[in-house]
Structure 1
Amino acid sequence: MEYFIIGAIFAAGMVLSGIGVYVLLESRRGQNLWFAGFALAAAVHCFGYAFELTASTLEMAFVFIRLEYVGIALQPFFGILATLEFTGDSKRLDRRMAWGLLCLSVLTVILVHTNSLHHLYYTGLELSRAGRLTIVHVTPGIWYWIFVAYVELCFAVGAIALVRAMKKAPADLKPQYRTYLAGFLAPVIGGHIYLLGLSPHSMDLAPCSLLVMSVLIIHGLNSNRLFNVIPLAQRRVIDSMNDIVIIVSVDNRIIDHNPSLQRLFPYDSHDYLGEHLSAVFCDYPELLELMATSSDGCVKIGLKDDSGRSFRASVNTILGRGNKPLAKYLLMTDITSEMRMVYSMKKLANIDSLTQIANRRSLYSQIKDLNKQYESGVPVCAIMIDIDDFKSVNDAHGHAAGDSALREVASLLKTGIRSQDVLARYGGEEFIIIAFDMGLDHAVALAERLREKISDAEIVYEGHTIQVTASAGVAEASTAPDFDGERLIADSDAALYAAKESGKNQVRAQNLPA
């Protein structure tokens, strides 16, 4: 039986060592390291106590006690940090408090190793036998009880954090918290049985209870993905986001991402991990340029497909100790609805709602843009067109009929000009055409063709046929850095006035005889 107890404690140490190494190797972005430290400290505790039970002398037993206290003293430190990380409460423990806890653990190890000099930890040690087992009876010193209080505080805070987190967690995440809480409480219960003097032969049951904890952890690793990602709830939130989240190394290789990346940016490779950004986003040079810079920033990109979706890509640097860059995270937010709204607002601001062609505000903006595209000295003409006696249409058929006539005239003009020409409703029943790289003679000919199309058209509204005529005025200027579009339009308006004065339904050009 004695050998079974020693073997079980030693086996617990082996299992905890394996768990610690496994969690350490499987940790991502520095997560789970505190739990790996806790498992390895617990393993040292088990190994030390297993050897203590086989010691033949008190001196040899105390050698193993010193070994096991390296693990015992560090368990509360690693345990509380691992638990707060698991529950997502790690920010509640600031760096100064963490250093304070570590100092208490290290001081405890030092006091145990130098106990013969001051007897602050143990005031007395006695050796007894329980069959083949060596049992060391201790008389606690003042620091022993300080350390017990320290352990109790750490485990109490951890238990409260676990219970609070478990209450808030969704149903499918509660098994992870229950498993962790059960494993967390096992050594606490064993330790209290020993402190109360209820353990058989005064054996320390904490190492034995660590075997129970290791079994629970293995169960959690196999069935609940206990330490696959800590905290699991945070990972679920990231994975469920429609936004794309990518973690990129300092050399711009993908080290983590959520499923939205693969859904929105299909890639030939089955796994994005380890791939360079230039391979995944080769069609998005603006994004690669942003990632290549040393500073954080933001850029808008549109998907290279038929969806018309747009994203705002923002880059932020993850800093480590000494503000040294560790990685970058790329957040790509879908702004398709926002961009469509902006487009709609711009359209409302630049398009005449009745005729669906450019309005006056858009006209002047387009003239400025086009002037920049041409070299100086290129001819540009303005054709101002006005529907003759439009008031009579409204009076005879109503304003709705007049609106229908305006829409029909706008459609006739739109189909009668070049794609590069600018057509706008200038106001009321007036329309204007701006034609770059077109001389006055060609502009007059164009105005004549448009006048004839309008006069020949039969506009039908509610069974009534409406016929209208139009007059036009044409003016010419040349592109230049100081090109005055308003002056050109004013000249075409003056020519239009001359056409009206000459009898309407005709074209007049600037400075040309009637």
Structure 2
Amino acid sequence: MMISTKPNKVTPVFQLFTRSEWFLTEILELTPDCLLVIDVKTDLVVYANQASENLYGYSQEEFIGKDIKIINLSNQREIKQHMDRVMKKYPNSHRFEAIHGTKTGKQVPVEVVSKLINLNGRKYFLSHITNITASNKLKNKISTLITQLSNQAYRDNLTGVYNRTYLFDVFLPKVMNRNIGLLLVNIDYFKNLNHTKGHILGDYILIETAKLLKSIVRTGGKVFRYSGGEFLVLLSKPGSDEPAQTAALINEKITNSQLTFEGQPVSYSVSIGYTSGLIHHPNHFSELIIQADQNLSQNK
């Protein structure tokens, strides 16, 4: 039954508008986001606005009487969990993200804000659904940009391994009060190689050495460009023999490497110093560097 909108001295005009079925219908139809009303008992759609047709491809008439599972691609358990949360949060709403399916089979990421309502003694879910494809794309772009900026800040431009900034600002704070293994890997006669053979060859050897070190270091270890021709390998939670074994493996791989540069074979060697210890303070790391450097000098 339509409620009369004839004004009188008692009822404000605003109240007449908000009580008007026509006025409410216009609001529901003009909103750009989807509005669905689902019967709690049957899971069937009892109302869908025009925006729902635009997103899902079903006409408003087709939507009525359809099971909500036809568009919600989540598994039954997940759907029930969200419905239970909506019930528990009454009279407040529950917000979540999901993947919905259109009439043509297209998958669409959506944000759903749903709340429980009571109409004439029957319970319904009123769901406000927003297509978040565009916002997700923006989030991905921002995430990619942040990753690129982080790589520029924390990665060596030439070799792609971590730099000293990442070492001191990010990695060391994470391994405080933990035992680490430390290896200094120095390319022998690197400065002389650059002067006599050229920086292009020197860069090539740096890149190949970085690749080799990354292939050897297990999960939890990190490789850093420490200085011109020197790399630092840090091992998290190493076994007692792991630094020595890793050093031997690096030497073996480099000795047996078959590199070519501009059609000519390239051979080179490295000197490695290693140690391990517990880091309680940044000064302890400096002490480990000194120990590894002394060990490196002995191994030359």
TM interval, shorter chain, is 0.5 to 0.7
| CA offsets 1:356-389 (integer angstroms, 9 cap, x no match) | 3334444453555567xxxx8x743122222223
User: Contact between 1:296 and 1:314, CA under 8 Å: does it hold in 2?
Assistant: no
| 1:333 alignment counterpart | 132
Structure 2 contact 182–292 (Cα < 8 Å) conserved: no
2:76 is aligned with 1:272:
no
User: Once the two structures are superposed, what CA deviation does each residue of 1:228-248 show, in whole Å capped at 9, x if it has no partner?
Assistant: x6479736x54xxxxxx4546
- Residue 414 (1) aligns with residue 226 (2): no
Instruction: After TM superposition, give the deviation of residue 310 of structure 1 in Å.
Output: 10
Q: Residue 436 in 1 paired to residue 233 in 2? A: no
Aligned to 2:78, the other structure's residue is in SS state coil
Work out whether residues 351 and 358 of structure 1, in 8 Å CA contact, stay in contact via their aligned partners in 2: yes
Instruction: State the AA in 1 paired with 2:208.
Output: E
Richer in helix (by share) = 1
Inter-CA distance 279–468: structure 2 relative to 1 (3 Å threshold): closer
Is structure 2 residue 293 aligned with structure 1 residue 493? no
1:12-51 equivalences in 2 (<5 Å): 36-37=2-3
Match of 2:272 in 1: 472
Partner AA of 1:234 in structure 2: L
Q: Does 1:357 align with 2:180?
A: no
Q: Is the 8 A contact 1:473 1:497 kept in 2?
A: yes
Q: Using the alignment, how far apart are the partners of 1:316 and 1:497 within structure 2?
A: 63
The aligned counterpart of 1:150 is none
CA distance 1:369–1:459, change in 2 (3 Å): same
In the alignment, what sits opposite 1:282?
Answer: 78
TM-score, L = length of structure 2? 0.61
- Return the structure number with greater relative CO, CA threshold 8 A, min gap 6: 2
Q: 1:439 to 1:469 in 2, by over 3 A?
A: same
The offset of 1:409, in angstroms, is 0.6
- Within 5 Å, give how 1:2-401 maps onto structure 2: 36-37=2-3, 74=6, 96-98=12-14, 230=26, 234=30, 237-238=32-33, 245=34, 247=36, 256=48, 258=52, 271-272=67-68, 282=78, 293=89, 313=111, 315=113, 327=126, 329-331=128-130, 333-334=132-133, 335-349=136-150, 350-363=154-167, 365-366=170-171, 368-369=173-174, 379-401=179-201
- Structure (1/2) with the larger strand percentage: 2
Two-structure CA RMSD over aligned residues (Å): 5.0
Contact 1:382–1:492 (Cα < 8 Å) also in 2: yes
Q: Is the 8 A contact 1:471 1:496 kept in 2?
A: no
Return the alpha-carbon distance in structure 2 between the equivalents of residues 412 and 441 of structure 1: 20
Counterpart CA distance in 2 for 1:469 and 1:230 is 79
| TM-score with structure 1 setting the length | 0.39
Q: Tell me: CA distance 1:99–1:310, structure 2 relative to 1, closer, same or farther (3 Å).
A: closer
Distance change in 2, residues 1:444/1:315 (3 Å): same
Equivalence map 1:452-463=2 (5 Å): 452-463=252-263
Shift of 1:458: 3.8
**In structure 2, distance between residues paired with 1:370 and 1:286:** 40
Comparing 489-498 with 403-412, greater Cα deviation is found at: 489-498
Q: Deviation string for 1:221-264 (max 9, x for gaps)?
A: xxxxxx9x6479736x54xxxxxx4546797977647368769x
- In structure 2, the CA distance between the partners of 1:381 and 1:280, relative to structure 1 (3 Å rule), is same
Shift in Å, 1:437:
3.1
Aligned in 2, Cα 1:496/1:272: closer, same or farther, shift over 3 Å? same
Residue number among 203, 208, 211 corresponding to 1:403 in the alignment: 203
Output the CA distance in 1 between the equivalents of 2:186 and 2:80: 48
Paired position in structure 1 for 2:121: none
Deviation at 1:413, TM superposition (A): 0.9
Q: Can you give the 5+ residue segments of structure 2 that lack an aligned partner in the other structure?
A: 18-22, 58-64, 101-106, 119-124
How many Å apart are 1:497 and its aligned residue?
2.4
How many residue pairs end up in the alignment? 260
Distance 1:435 1:97, change over 3 A: same
The amino acid across from 1:282 in the alignment is E
Q: Distance in 1 between matches of 2:108 and 2:202?
A: 40
Q: Which amino acid aligns with 2:245?
A: A
Higher-Rg member (1/2): 1
C-alpha distance in 1 between matches for 2:164 and 2:95: 34
Distance across 1 between alignment mates of 2:142 and 2:182: 33
Matched to 1:498, the amino acid is Q
Give distance in 1, aligned partners of 2:108 and 2:175: 27
Deviation, structure 1 residue 476: 1.5
Name the CA shift for 1:310/1:256 in 2 (closer, same or farther; >3 Å).
closer
Whether contact under 8 Å (2:254, 2:269) holds in the other structure is yes
* Cα deviation digits, residues 17-75 of structure 1 (max 9, x gap): xxxx6xxxxxxxxxxxxxx457xx9xxxxxxxxxxxxxxxxxxxxxxxxxxxxxxxx4x
From the superposition, tell whether residues 280 and 395 of structure 1 become closer, same or farther in structure 2 (CA, over 3 Å). Answer: farther
Aligned partners of 2:72 and 2:98 also within 8 Å: no
Measure the CA separation in 1 of the matches of 2:132 and 2:238: 46
